[in-house]
Every structure is written in structure tokens, then in C-alpha cells.
Amino acid sequence: MITQKKLGQKIKKLREEFDLSQESFASKINLPRPAISQIESGQRKLDSLELSKIANLFDVSIDELLMDTSKIRQKPKRKKVNVPKLDKEKFKQVLLYILEKCGAKPNVGETVLYKLLYFCDFDFYELFEKPFTGMSYRKINYGPAPCNFNEIVREMINDGQLKRISTEYYGNPQKKYIPLVDADLKEISAEEKEVIDKVINRLSDMTASAITEYAHQDIPCETTPDKEIIDYELVFYRKPAYSVRNYPEE
């Protein structure tokens, strides 16, 4: 059985691997922040409910937490892709394809569109460990947002590929995008198209507020400080409910 001090050290290591501050960690397991310092220093015992909450948060079993080993949940040794190289043409075709498939839905305005693009890129990276469009995403108040979106949209509007309109959805202002040309599917591989279709089927009926809340709880977004670029590598720490590796085959 692990000692109380070693358990505290293991919990601290897990917290740091998930890029959580003591304050953020405390709020997620409903404890005061000073209690986290006591736990990590081995000065405070954990009850079974607290152990269960910690295990669920870090996606490990209670047995793994209590196992006397320093090798639990070591960070994967993968090449960092902090700023992938953007494939602008592929991003344009993915945007057109998404708009063809679900852009006419009344709920799919700019906010929903941002999240669909985010999940396409990050789901693909989790599955294949390589960038899809290479778009960088920044965490803002409304969840992940593609960094070069406005620049690319301006180009597409000038080239006659897109039209942007302002409308309302349940009394709230909404920006919508209308595709004026078909997506060039030669730019999108079969495996890439499959990821897009699954994201659309899973998420495109969500309202802006629902998909924003959902995206905020995805580990890559959740653990990134506000206004910072989201690291693709964080997909390998996703909670089971978000991991595309856990979704049943359709």
C-alpha cells in the first residue's frame, strides 16, 4: 500500500501533467485550496469519496492511485506540435464541406462553426497523431476559436466562395456563412472526411451555448489559460467521454 506522502506526490504529479493549478484542482473536486496543499504534502488523509473524485478527474482507477509506483500516467513521449503548419486551402475546403452539410441549420452560426472546426482538427489529431488542417485555436470566453478564421473568410468572400450574413437566433445576433461553391473533395482524404462527418453527426444540432459548454470541458480547452493557444498534444489526456477512441463504430 502506498504511503500518504507518496500518494500526495503522485496526485501532485498528475495535477501538474494536466496543467491544473491547485485552485482549479480544488474547485473540480469540491475542496478548499489549502486542503490540496495538505494532501500533496502528505499531511491530510483522503476519504473514499475524495479518492473517487480524483481518480475520475485524472482517468485512473483508485487502485492505480494507491499503487506504489511512479510510472502511472507518464506523459507520452510524442513530438510537440505547439504551432502546426496551417494548410489554408484544406481549411477552406473543410469549412465549405461543413457548411454544405449543416450550415443551413438555424443553430449553426459562427460560434457553433468554430467548435465544429475545433473538434474536427483535434479529433483527427487524437486518432492519427498528425495535424489535419493545421489550424491553431485560441481559448476565448466562448471556447476554442480558429486563429486565422477572419482572414481566411475575407479571402473566401473576395473570391466568391462564401457569403456572410447577419441574422438572429432566438433573439440573439448571429453570423451565418453561406457556401457559394462546392467543396473540392480532392483536398480531403477519406479518413479526414470520416472524421468531419462524425463531428457533424455528433455535435451540429447543439445550440451555441450547449456546444460552448461542451468544448470548455474538453481537456485541451479546459486546461489552457484564457487567450492562450491550445496545445494539440493535450488530446491524449482527454476524459473517456471525449476521447474519439472510445466512440462506437457507426
Domains and CATH numbers, the chain: 4-66 (1.10.260.40), 88-246 (no CATH)
Compute the average pLDDT of residues 157-161.
Answer: 97
Instruction: Count the residues in the chain.
Output: 250
**Nearest one of 21, 10, 78 to 46, comparing CA atoms:** 10
Residues 6+ apart with CB under 8 A from 63: none
Q: Which three cell numbers stand for residue 147?
A: 486563429
Q: What is the pTM of this model?
A: 0.67
pLDDT in tens, 61-108: 887 788 875 443 444 444 444 567 899 999 999 999 999 999 999 999
pLDDT in tens, 10-67: 899 888 877 788 988 998 899 999 999 999 999 999 998 999 899 888 777 887 788 8
Categorise residue 220: left if φ over 0, alpha if ψ from -120 to 50, beta otherwise: alpha
CA 217 to chain centre: 8
- Please work out, in degrees rounded to the nearest 5, the angle formed at the alpha carbon of residue 52 by the alpha carbons of 47 and 57: 130
Distances (CA, A) of 5 to 9, 33, 66, 69: 6, 18, 11, 13
pLDDT in tens, 106-141: 999 999 999 999 999 999 999 999 999 999 999 998
Question: What is residue 40's predicted lDDT score, i.e. its pLDDT?
Answer: 92
Distance CA 200, CA 195 (A): 9
